[in-house]
Amino acid sequence: MSASTEQIDDILKKGYDAGFVTDIEEEYAPPGLSEEIVRFISKKKQEPEWLLEWRLKAYRRWLEMKEPTWAKVTYPKIDFQDICYYAAPKTNENAPKSLDEVDPELLATYEKLGIPLHEREVLAGVAVDAVFDSVSVATTFRDKLAEVGVIFMPFSEAVQEHPELVKRYLGSVVPVSDNFYAALNSAVFSDGSFVYIPKGVRCPMELSTYFRINAAKTGQFERTLIIADEGSYVSYLEGCTAPMRDENQLHAAVVELVTHEGAQIKYSTVQNWYPGDENGKGGILNFVTKRGLCEGARSKISWTQVETGSAITWKYPSCILKGDDSVGEFYSVALSNHRQQADTGTKMIHLGKNTKSTIISKGISAGHGQQTYRGGVKISRGATNARNYTQCDSLLIGDKCGAHTVPYVDVRNSSSKLEHEATTSRIGEDQLFYCRQRGLSEEDAVSLIVNGFAKQVLKELPMEFAVEAQKLLGVSLEGAVG
């Protein structure tokens, strides 16, 4: 019943649809990192003095820090002096005010990617902030959102228009010295999205950011900050793509979420950065710090991620459950094919009473892919009646891939209850046989089984993302079974 290696190889050599380069005039900062570059970026953004100071502090901390080596990933050494820390499409002096002012090339790019950037695509019902290399190019539906008091704008604009909010929350969840990549991001972040949902408001539509790395030899360092004030709710989607290039490109983002009493943030990611070719050449090095703080009682943060891209993924979206009765969730499907390596998972830190967390992680490895779930659950002394449930399953396709599970569990409160379970296996021959016997082709059978395997996570995704995610999983895995 096993497909030949050639067959598998054929299928694994699937194309990367988003791998085109947009020919557009861009403005660069010279490569390399120094205080001057940090000042240059800050000046370019016309930032206030306090933010420049904040960046410089981060830069100085970064200089003292060492690149982390504990993750189970290998990649060529990153030369931080060979990267451009700022690249922006050249526009007329000011940033575009409406879509008409946006470079048509750029719009065509997003069109190709199928992002409902244009407002006439109202049917999609999604407000989009699109980040192209280092700057945010357009944010849709701003007026409609403003009516209910929701602030959704590029980070650089928020710095100008809502400095008090930015100053209060920036770095409050991920401090500048949190880790090597977070410090780097804090020093050189160029843009990103800023969201504030006022008290008691349920955001009328799903908010979305689309990240696109275009320029060669650049890094992307975006920063997202989402604040949900008391009793509010927002669902936020994030998607990413990049052109196919032979050299690795660095992506080091920071995402901070804060929920106040009774508020809820649902954060969904479909990450499809260029994974490199089948020999592991090129691809995005994705080093991301994402963390949410459930500040208020009864608040909730839910992370859902579908990770199919990037050569290296180093990402641990986490929740700090500080408010009593707060809830943290993490749903993840990660797929590594070819030479992709993913070291991903979550951290749930229970501080408040009656806090609950759920972790569902599904890893799929194929080809020479390497997959690691690395998670931590910490229940502190004061977290009375805390509850955690963790399940991480791995599916192996082919005899050259690897799947690893590294959970850390730390419990200091006797009334808490914690369960962790994990399984690793390949697609069952009896399952395949059953499907084939019912007339499904081998490819359809595999697709069915893989989608079934990931269903628990996919069902957490908002509709339009779920479709995309299923497609992504399907394309990369059809028939790739031995």
Tell the smallest beta-carbon distance from residue 85 to other proteins (Å): 31
| Beta-sheet pairing, 151-154 with 193-197 | antiparallel
Tell the smallest beta-carbon distance from residue 435 to other proteins (Å): 19
Q: Determine, following the binding rule CB under 8 A, whether residue 163 of this chain makes contact with other proteins.
A: no
Tell the smallest beta-carbon distance from residue 442 to other proteins (Å): 16
Which of 242, 418, 435, 458 touches other proteins by CB under 8 A?
A: 418
Q: Determine, following the binding rule CB under 8 A, whether residue 436 of this chain makes contact with other proteins.
A: no
> Which of helix, strand or coil describes residue 431?
helix
Q: Determine, following the binding rule CB under 8 A, whether residue 144 of this chain makes contact with other proteins.
A: no
- Of 150, 153, 162, the residue nearest 201 (C-alpha): 150
For residue 45, give both structure tokens: 């953004």
Site string for other proteins, 376-415 (x = CB under 8 A): ---x-x------------x-xxxxxxxxxxxxxxxxxxxx
Residue number with CB closer to other proteins (423 or 441): 423
Residue number with CB closer to other proteins (50 or 408): 408
- Whether 446 contacts 2, CB under 8 Å: no
Q: Determine, following the binding rule CB under 8 A, whether residue 425 of this chain makes contact with other proteins.
A: yes
Site string for other proteins, 12-41 (x = CB under 8 A): ------------------------------
* Cβ-based neighbour number of residue 339 at 10 Å: 20
Residue number with CB closer to other proteins (91 or 424): 424
With a CB cutoff of 8 Å and minimum separation 6, the contacts of 207 are 126, 127, 129, 152, 193, 195, 234, 235, 236, 237
Which run of H or E residues covers position 384?
Answer: none
Q: Determine, following the binding rule CB under 8 A, whether residue 7 of this chain makes contact with other proteins.
A: no
Contacting other proteins within 321-380 (CB under 8 A): 379
Tell the smallest beta-carbon distance from residue 55 to other proteins (Å): 30
Give the amino acid at 162.
H
Tell the smallest beta-carbon distance from residue 48 to other proteins (Å): 39
DSSP string, 32-92: S--HHHHHHHHHHTT--HHHHHHHHHHHHHHHH------SS---PPP-TTSSBS-EEE--S
Q: Determine, following the binding rule CB under 8 A, whether residue 433 of this chain makes contact with other proteins.
A: no
Residue number with CB closer to other proteins (18 or 450): 450
Residue number with CB closer to other proteins (398 or 479): 398
Tell the smallest beta-carbon distance from residue 72 to other proteins (Å): 8
- Of 20, 92, 11, 57, the residue nearest 442 (C-alpha): 11
Which of 39, 144, 281, 426 touches other proteins by CB under 8 A?
A: 426
- What are the CA-CA distances from residue 154 to residues 133, 157, 222, 445 (Å)? 13, 5, 10, 43
Q: Determine, following the binding rule CB under 8 A, whether residue 78 of this chain makes contact with other proteins.
A: no
Residue number with CB closer to other proteins (247 or 410): 410
Tell the smallest beta-carbon distance from residue 371 to other proteins (Å): 9
- Of 472, 396, 473, the residue nearest 427 (C-alpha): 396
Which of 95, 216, 244, 422 touches other proteins by CB under 8 A?
A: 422
Which run of H or E residues covers position 8?
Answer: helix 5-12
Tell the smallest beta-carbon distance from residue 329 to other proteins (Å): 20
**CA–CA distance, 27 with 155 (Å, rounded to integer):** 19
Tell the smallest beta-carbon distance from residue 67 to other proteins (Å): 16
Query: Which one of 155-163, 288-296, 306-314, 423-431 is the stretch in contact with other proteins (CB under 8 A)?
Result: 423-431
- Whether 199 contacts 232, CB under 8 Å: yes
- Of 293, 285, 289, the residue nearest 320 (C-alpha): 293
- Of 397, 206, 238, the residue nearest 305 (C-alpha): 238
Residue number with CB closer to other proteins (53 or 410): 410
Residue number with CB closer to other proteins (276 or 367): 367
Q: Determine, following the binding rule CB under 8 A, whether residue 423 of this chain makes contact with other proteins.
A: yes
Q: Determine, following the binding rule CB under 8 A, whether residue 74 of this chain makes contact with other proteins.
A: no
- Whether 256 contacts 289, CB under 8 Å: no
- Whether 63 contacts 80, CB under 8 Å: no
- Whether 253 contacts 223, CB under 8 Å: yes
Q: Determine, following the binding rule CB under 8 A, whether residue 67 of this chain makes contact with other proteins.
A: no
**CA–CA distance, 238 with 242 (Å, rounded to integer):** 14
Tell the smallest beta-carbon distance from residue 416 to other proteins (Å): 7
Q: Find residue 306's DSSP bridge partners.
A: 270, 333
**CA–CA distance, 466 with 463 (Å, rounded to integer):** 5
Binding site for other proteins (CB under 8 A): 70, 379, 381, 394, 396-426, 482
